[in-house]
Structure 1
Amino acid sequence: MRLSGSLLQQVGKQAYRPKRLKRVLNYAVFGFAATCCAYSGLLLFNLASGVFQYQSKRRPEIETQKRELEAAMQEKTAIERQAGLPAPLPMASLLRWLGDFVLSRLRPLGRRSPRPSRAASPPRPARPCRAALMMMYSGSGYAGMQRQPDRPTVEGALLDCLLAGGHINAGQFAQPRQQLGFVTASRTDSGVSALAQLVTLHHDLADPGALVRDLNSRLPDSFRVLDAVRVTKGFNSRYRVLNRTYAYYCPTFALCPDPLPSAYAYRIEPDRLRHLRYCLSRFPGTRNYFNFTCGRLLDDPSCARYIVNSWADEPFLYNGLEFVEIRIVGQSFMRHQIRKMIGLCIAVVRGQYEPSAFDAAFSAKRRLNVPRAPGLGLLLCDLNYAIYNREYAAKLGYPTLDWARFHRQRQ
């Protein structure tokens, strides 16, 4: 029992020793922290005492310097008075004088100066706003939409009439895009007509009806301005359009490879019309149209264009000649793109190109010679501004850009 009891005591001492060491360390740390705090407080007290003693010793000297400075100022003032100079104002008097002066200059509350009569003031000139000209024209006789030197164009004819009517000045006529913000919704090629074309420019648009009548009196009969409406300040006719719809009126005899005794007697076969519709079904979607334009590099990313839909309607007769109307709806088009799309379809239907020519043309691995259809049968028939009409025109009170109301005039 004694042996076991002594063992238990030794074990207890061993187990108690770490706790005792930890407690001692805690006391030591606490004591060190308390000592540091005491020394810091003592140091701050000595510093404050020294500053107080220094100020106490310097106070008589500061008071003496202050009295000497006041005496010198009084002596200087007396000398200036003897010389006839005005005495300087004290700081308090100067501030009071400034306050009284400011208050005297202020307009009394409740009294307002009479405002000038608006009738007596001259009228302000109308501020230029963003105006849109809705128009249609026949492309025959014009070398395209964009103005060119020494060649008749749609843009040139419109600007000439605006200048002749005094609606723009010479500087704006010389630089319409910089001075007027002149933007067209779609740049039609040479010989291409339009039933729906939109031009935006800066104009006061004080009397839209008078502007339309004046322009139509100066333009030829094949060129008509349908309406002039006000649009939002940041409106851009080119980038606001959702999609463009083109129609191509193709004579059906152009789809027949065999020589014909008379083009007026030809009527397209159902199989050939079905083949044409199959070729048109290859265009919808986003594809690379590098081989359907000119002046672009092989790796130009802007050659990728999105076609919404393309189809061919039932053939119809006009003056004894059969035509088929081809419709192409796309987001945007490049130069000669639609005419080359129609030309490739005609070449494949006639048997001059294999159907695999579509894959080769879309691959854009090399430049291919894609035929181009004449521009005389191409027509820009609609511009879709559905998002603008819904989000801006309907909510902000602007006129809608819709050509359906001019259906009778466009017949």
Structure 2
Amino acid sequence: MGNLWSKEQVKEEEVIEQEEKISITTIEESTVGSKRAADPDQESPKAKKTKKNKRDSRPRQPPLEHSGPREPRLPKKKVALLIGFNGTGYQGLQLNPNSKTIEGEVFEALCKANGVSKDNANDPKKVNWMRCARTDKGVHAAGNILSLKMQIPSDYDIVERTNSFLPEQIRVWGYVPVIGSFNPKTLCDSRIYEYLLPTYVFMEPIKPEITSEQVHEDDLMLSTMVDGEPTTFYARRSTPELIEKRHAYRATQQQLEKFKKAVKLYEGSHNFHNYTIGKGYKDHSSMRYIKNITVSEPMYIRDTEWLSIKLHGQSFMLHQIRKMISMAMLIARTETPVSLIQQTFGEKRINIPKAPALGLLLERPVFDVYNDKLLQKTSKEDRIKIDFDVYKDKIETFKQEWIYSKIFDTEIQEHVFDGFLTFLDAQLGHEYDYLNPEGVIPDICIVHTKYNNKGDDD
């Protein structure tokens, strides 16, 4: 399933490469052959000849011998590598020295499978390594794209061989030959994410026991600003009885409708500066376009009620989806009107907490524009599109076994969302005073950073 290229396509690409080489050589030759003005500091022909004779009289060094036989050269093609992974235990997707990353595992496996030559194994840049959608620590992906110039052996399936060197929580689905200038990040026209949310997060806030010193080993340490001063305190984690009560909770129809209305307000073009870090209201890159958001009907997994939220947008910023889910959730569990969402697109800077990374996964990047242009520019009917549906059965099996089940298992064992609620309900300051029945953002909870200084609020 991995090698999808025909011999005709390989020949076609070789002809194109030869034509590119010829055109480059022609340019170089024309440059060399052109006349230049005389340089007053240039040596005379006689002096050059004397130097040449001296060089020729020097003893020549014998050519260096290679320590071993040269590795046979295999054909290399620019490809889009379709992958999926469970991000648990990894410091995100992107290659990072001295960190355990998804890309690090995939690159190492490709080297072992001879998809990357030994000469290029020490530096991914040598094979023009790129990624489509970067994912954070602990975030999963049913589908994502890496691109590189990959060696394609003819005597075995490179996809199968690469997977044999990968842990089961990381899979290569296949590869698609792409144009030489292919950049998966810029040519991806949109991305689809999914967030799995237990509905017990809609329960009314329950104030936990708070102390100035740690009393129990598993107490949650929290830091916040109280009256302008940084304050550290400890919150008692939920009792087994409260955790059991939360998992048995079922959202009301009113809560579900309110949550759905809230997330629908994210659709369209808005300034999402409040939903990321390191960007201000006046930063043009804070503008993002959300195509569509859908919320599933409640589903019941291991006695807990869950929702699946699908978010389809052109692109998303760091933490954006987790903050979007969190804000809609906070509105649904309080008396705050959904109109607050629209206010968050304005200049006022507020602190929106991040929902746990546990529930977030990248379903797939979308390349519809690239695929359409590719088909228009070529007469070949067998030109291959970037399409995850080719592997939908394998991907669905992987999602069930390595993403969904792991999310549910982790929540049951570690009570991740319960810990998130404890953190929210234990706050002592005024950070979340924007959660009020009037739906207004009071000045006391406005955050001032270098991205929105006090003088910039007018």
Tell me if TM exceeds 0.5: yes
Q: Please say if 1:254 is aligned against 2:194.
A: no
Match of 2:388 in 1: 403
1:202 to 135, 141, 149: 149
Q: One-letter code of the match for 2:181? A: G
Q: One-letter code of the match for 1:391? A: K
Q: Please say if 1:312 is aligned against 2:260.
A: no
- Structure ranking higher on relative contact order (CA contacts 8 Å, 6+ apart): 2
Q: How does 1:371-382 map to 2 (within 5 A)?
A: 371-382=353-364
After TM superposition, give the deviation of residue 227 of structure 1 in Å: 0.6
1:390 to 372, 389, 399: 372
Q: 1-side partners of 2:204 and 2:98: how far apart?
A: 40
After TM superposition, give the deviation of residue 197 of structure 1 in Å: 0.7
Q: Please say if 1:272 is aligned against 2:220.
A: no
**Contact 1:211–1:228 under 8 Å retained in 2:** no
Match of 2:18 in 1: none
Of stretches 179-188 and 326-335 in structure 1, the one that deviates more from structure 2 is 179-188
Q: One-letter code of the match for 2:317? A: M
**Contact 1:347–1:371 under 8 Å retained in 2:** no
Q: How does 1:84-99 map to 2 (within 5 A)?
A: none
Of stretches 197-206 and 394-403 in structure 1, the one that deviates more from structure 2 is 394-403
2:328 to 345, 348, 368: 345
Match of 1:214 in 2: 161
**Contact 2:194–2:363 under 8 Å retained in 1:** yes
Q: How does 1:227-266 map to 2 (within 5 A)?
A: 227-257=174-204, 262-266=245-249
* Residues 309, 209 of structure 1: alpha-carbon distance in 2 compared, 3 angstrom cutoff: farther
* Residues 168, 352 of structure 1: alpha-carbon distance in 2 compared, 3 angstrom cutoff: farther
Q: 1-side partners of 2:389 and 2:141: how far apart?
A: 14
* Residues 267, 398 of structure 1: alpha-carbon distance in 2 compared, 3 angstrom cutoff: same
Question: Which consecutive unaligned segments of at least 5 residues does structure 1 have?
Answer: 1-123
TM-score scaled by length of structure 1 = 0.65
Match of 2:89 in 1: 141
After TM superposition, give the deviation of residue 321 of structure 1 in Å: 1.2
2:275 to 272, 279, 292: 292
Q: One-letter code of the match for 2:372? A: R
After TM superposition, give the deviation of residue 348 of structure 1 in Å: 1.1
After TM superposition, give the deviation of residue 295 of structure 1 in Å: 2.1
**Contact 1:138–1:194 under 8 Å retained in 2:** yes
Match of 1:150 in 2: 98
Q: 1-side partners of 2:76 and 2:102: how far apart?
A: 24
* Residues 205, 196 of structure 1: alpha-carbon distance in 2 compared, 3 angstrom cutoff: same
TM-score scaled by length of structure 2 = 0.59
Larger radius of gyration: 1
**Contact 1:208–1:228 under 8 Å retained in 2:** no
After superposition, the CA RMSD in angstroms is 2.2
**Contact 2:115–2:153 under 8 Å retained in 1:** no
Q: 2-side partners of 1:337 and 1:235: how far apart?
A: 26
Q: 1-side partners of 2:267 and 2:362: how far apart?
A: 18
* Residues 368, 409 of structure 1: alpha-carbon distance in 2 compared, 3 angstrom cutoff: same
* Residues 193, 253 of structure 1: alpha-carbon distance in 2 compared, 3 angstrom cutoff: same
Match of 2:433 in 1: none
Q: Please say if 1:369 is aligned against 2:316.
A: no
**Contact 2:139–2:361 under 8 Å retained in 1:** yes
* Residues 191, 221 of structure 1: alpha-carbon distance in 2 compared, 3 angstrom cutoff: same
**Contact 1:208–1:227 under 8 Å retained in 2:** no
After TM superposition, give the deviation of residue 238 of structure 1 in Å: 1.3
The one-character-per-residue Cα deviations of 1:355-387 (angstroms, maximum 9, x if unpaired) are 343233211x24310111111111111222222
Percent same amino acid at aligned positions? Answer: 29
Instruction: Report the secondary structure of 2:201's partner residue.
Output: helix
Instruction: Report the secondary structure of 2:393's partner residue.
Output: coil
Q: How does 1:67-146 map to 2 (within 5 A)?
A: 125-146=73-94
Question: Which consecutive unaligned segments of at least 5 residues does structure 2 have?
Answer: 1-71, 207-241, 398-458
Q: 2-side partners of 1:205 and 1:331: how far apart?
A: 32
* Residues 257, 398 of structure 1: alpha-carbon distance in 2 compared, 3 angstrom cutoff: same
The one-character-per-residue Cα deviations of 1:56-101 (angstroms, maximum 9, x if unpaired) are xxxxxxxxxxxxxxxxxxxxxxxxxxxxxxxxxxxxxxxxxxxxxx
